[in-house]
Amino acid sequence: MSQPAASKKSHGNHWPIVIALIAGIVVGVILQQFAHPADGAAAPGWLTGTMEICRFVSDLFLRALKMVIVPLVVASIISGIAGLKSLDGFARMGLKTWAYYIIGSLVAVCVGLLMVNTIKPGLVDGKPNATLKAAMDSALNSKSAAEVGNVMKKAEGGASSLLDIVRRMIPTNVVEACANGDLLAIIFFSILFAVAMVLVPGGPPIALQDLFNQLTDVMTLVTTWVMKFTPLAVFCLVIPAIAEVGVGILQNLVPYVLTVVGALALHTFVVLPLVLKASGASPLKHFRNMSDSMLMAFSTASSTATIPVTMRCVLEEAKVSERVGSFVIPLGATVNMNGTALYECVVVVFAAQVLGIDLSLSQQFIVVLLALVSSIGVAGIPAASLVAIIIIMQNAGFSEDMIKASLGLILTIDRPLDMARTTVNVFGDTVGAVVIAKSEGEKLDE
């Protein structure tokens, strides 16, 4: 009886976050002129101090969110599955979930490919944009070059194939996986543990089942405490993300930004609502129910950090069962990256246009497949998709210098676009939870 009351109360929670988001954007825009003086001088000391304070506050909030993720995910998955009287239909639900992830990401990549080939943001009058090519070269200053180098190093150890992703699912040390926040391995072990609990002779041990049920309740309460600081954290998260974007380079990248945002909007406001409608759910109602989750995803640019909020929205607002929600949401935050797959495809084709690389239809098809595979299992942390982009570019024939020049340009505007594509990732997860729940016969509107 207590759940509906909590649900009703949470409907208005998004307004303080909206106000904080708008205020952060406004302050960020005002601070842009000080962060990037017209005469090329260094940013004033007070601005550097302000940015540090914002980063400190937002970092504390993100650390608190990440603190609750592992125990919340483990407890939710185990309590949800162990609460089943039998595993009938569990494998079926798993297959449906994976089918949704793969098909959804494939559709998203195709949407991105359609937009980037229609708008052609890297071309001017059918020729490579010379201004953007020059911007690519100039973007490799000392600061961005170091950042590009760090991303390139991460790509060397990135999962470059489906086999690598499957290998990472099985942890050699569960405690180490929890310490490192390796969600794919944690989810696999949690499912295995819960299935064993159900199949143990005599049924799930009552004491063990009560332990995980109570742990879920406790971690939900801790998450509620952390979320009380959301408006302040959102304000501090957005300011540096907006203030540090150079206005000059942004003007040159307007066609590229519009292509990415347009493709993400098309997938979010056309494709996914059609999927909801086909499943019998109301798109408008779902947008309203997921407002807190989407705002958090946009602010943090991390689908992993958003898991606690997304699970609350799906379970309390959309009324999805814990059996479905506790399985689909954590797994989706790790492997279902609609926005990331779409973005990767747009970036690679855009960079090819600027560099004068003519990608044939077959090469673009390879880009689609690589974007699909690399988006599965990419870490749900800010800018992790850049690692996948490097892998795709390497397989598409880009030289190392071309990759570095492309990343040098992309990094200048990546953070705001990262916020946008993370929102699509998370919204795609919530749509998946509703679609799977509907397909399992759940009456979400009751």
Contact 368, 113 (CB under 8 A): yes
Q: What is the pLDDT of residue 343?
A: 94
* DSSP annotation string for 364-427: HHHHHHHHHHHHTT--SSTTTHHHHHHHHHHHTT--HHHHHHHHHHHTTTHHHHHHHHHHHHHH
Our CA dihedral for 18, 22, 28, 33, rounded to 10 degrees, sits at 170
Q: What is the pLDDT of residue 384?
A: 64
Contact 367, 346 (CB under 8 A): no
**Which residue shows structure tokens 């971690």?**
219
Alpha carbons 200 and 198: distance in angstroms, whole number: 6
Q: What is the pLDDT of residue 3?
A: 43
Contact 114, 349 (CB under 8 A): no
Sign of CA dihedral 265, 267, 271, 275: negative
Strand partners, 128: 123
Alpha carbons 437 and 393: distance in angstroms, whole number: 37
Alpha carbons 121 and 264: distance in angstroms, whole number: 15
Contact 156, 400 (CB under 8 A): no
What single DSSP character describes residue 127?
E
Alpha carbons 293 and 98: distance in angstroms, whole number: 22
C-alpha to C-alpha distances, 239 to 15, 183, 298, 360, 422, nearest whole angstrom: 18, 29, 13, 41, 18
Give the residue from 175, 201, 151 showing the smallest Cα distance to 411.
151
Alpha carbons 436 and 431: distance in angstroms, whole number: 9
Alpha carbons 202 and 411: distance in angstroms, whole number: 56
> pLDDT 10s digit of each residue in the chain, 446 long?
334 434 444 444 678 989 999 999 999 889 988 877 766 677 788 988 999 999 999 999 999 998 999 999 999 999 988 877 677 778 889 899 999 999 999 999 999 999 999 999 999 888 998 888 887 877 655 455 556 666 666 555 554 455 666 787 899 999 999 988 888 899 999 999 999 998 888 878 999 999 999 999 999 899 989 989 999 999 999 998 888 776 666 677 899 999 999 999 999 999 999 999 999 999 999 999 999 999 999 998 888 889 999 999 999 999 999 889 999 999 998 888 899 999 999 999 999 999 999 888 888 888 888 888 777 755 544 556 777 888 888 888 888 888 888 888 888 788 889 999 999 999 999 999 999 999 998 988 65
Give the residue from 66, 95, 17 showing the smallest Cα distance to 186.
66
Tally of CA atoms within 13 A in the half-sphere of 208 that contains its CB = 14
- What's phi and psi for 62, nearest 5 deg? -65, -40
Exposure letters 275-295 (e unless 16+ CB within 10 A, then b): bbeeeebebeebbebbbbbbb
Alpha carbons 57 and 174: distance in angstroms, whole number: 31
Contact 259, 346 (CB under 8 A): yes
Alpha carbons 199 and 88: distance in angstroms, whole number: 12
Give the residue from 327, 276, 345, 324 showing the smallest Cα distance to 117.
345
Q: What is the pLDDT of residue 40?
A: 65
Structure tokens at 424: 């699509």
Give the residue from 1, 6, 63 showing the smallest Cα distance to 220.
6
10 Å CB burial of residue 16 (0-12, 13-18, 19+) is: middle
The model's pTM: 0.86
